[in-house]
């Protein structure tokens, strides 16, 4: 269930549907982590589809990569999706959990991952990044606040899993 503080269920659900559509249409996303040096690192990742019931997104990676070191250290990540034809942009923030045990990776493995990690040797070092989305900033033409691109529409999820419309981000543009 999703709502705003003043009970605007429909608006929040429409925004979540718009975010889901943008994510589904994006072939790639950007994964942003806190770098060891204190800055941030961004790298492209293959398209992922969230479980819309709980907004958990799973990515596949090499467990020996710098991004896994960043996640072990900081635990928070950002994901950025964009769909140019729809003028739709979604920035997600959340807590990332690494799944590195071979038995757990095998249990969650999808056939599509074989194309990304084709050899058995590389699969032996595969890890999954599960991102529990806690906040999303949206810029979706025709759905979010006008004038388009001036401010992000922000949704935040509380500890009970309820999405709420937060104050518009006056600094994001």
Domain boundaries, the chain: 9-165
Query: DSSP 3-state helix, strand, coil percentages of the chain (rounded to 5)?
Result: 25, 40, 35
The model carries a pTM of 0.86
The fold of the 9-165 domain, in CATH, is: Pnp Oxidase; Chain A (2.30.110)
For residues 124-132, average pLDDT: 93
pLDDT at 112: 81
Q: Which two tokens stand for residue 110?
A: 């999808």
CB 155 within 8 A of CB 163: yes
């Amino acid at each position: 269930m999703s709502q705003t503080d003043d009970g605007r269920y429909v608006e929040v659900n429409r925004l979540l549907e718009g975010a889901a559509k943008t994510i589904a249409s994006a072939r790639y996303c950007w994964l942003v982590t806190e770098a060891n040096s204190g800055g941030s690192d961004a790298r492209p990742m293959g398209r992922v589809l969230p479980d819309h019931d709980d907004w958990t997104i799973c990515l596949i990676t090499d467990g020996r990569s710098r991004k896994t070191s960043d996640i072990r250290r900081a635990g928070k990540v950002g994901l950025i999706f964009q769909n140019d034809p729809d003028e739709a942009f979604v920035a997600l923030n959340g807590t990332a959990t690494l799944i590195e045990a071979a038995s757990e990776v095998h249990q969650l493995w999808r056939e599509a991952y074989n194309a990304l990690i084709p050899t058995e040797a590389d699969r032996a070092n595969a890890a999954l990044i599960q991102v529990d989305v806690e906040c999303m900033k949206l810029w979706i033409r025709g759905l979010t606040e006008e004038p388009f691109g001036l401010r992000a529409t922000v949704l935040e999820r509380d500890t009970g899993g309820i999405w709420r419309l937060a104050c518009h981000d006056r600094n994001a543009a």
